[in-house]
Amino acid sequence: MSRIEIIPAIDIIEGRCVRLSQGDYERSRVYDASPVDMAKRYADCGVKRIHVVDLDGAKSSSPKNLKTLERMAVGSGVEIEWGGGIKSEESLRALFDYGATYAIVGSVAAQQPMLFAEWLEQFGGNKMVLGADVRNGKVSVNGWQEDLAVTIEELIDGFLPHGLNQVICTDITKDGMLQGPSDELYVELQERYSGVDFTVSGGIGSMADIERLNEKNLRKVIIGKAIYENRITLKDIERWLLNA
Cite the active site residues: 11, 133
**Cα separation of 205 and 217, whole Å?**
19
Burial 127-153 (b: 16+ CB within 10 A, else e): bbbbbbbbbeeebbbbbbeebbebebe
Query: Going by DSSP bridges, is the β-strand pair 138-141/24-30 parallel, antiparallel, or unpaired?
Result: unpaired
Closest residue by Cα to residue 180 from 110, 138, 146, 231 = 231
Residue 135 neighbours by CB under 8 Å, 6+ apart: 144, 147, 171, 172, 173
**Cα separation of 4 and 9, whole Å?**
15
**Cα separation of 57 and 123, whole Å?**
21
**Cα separation of 244 and 237, whole Å?**
11
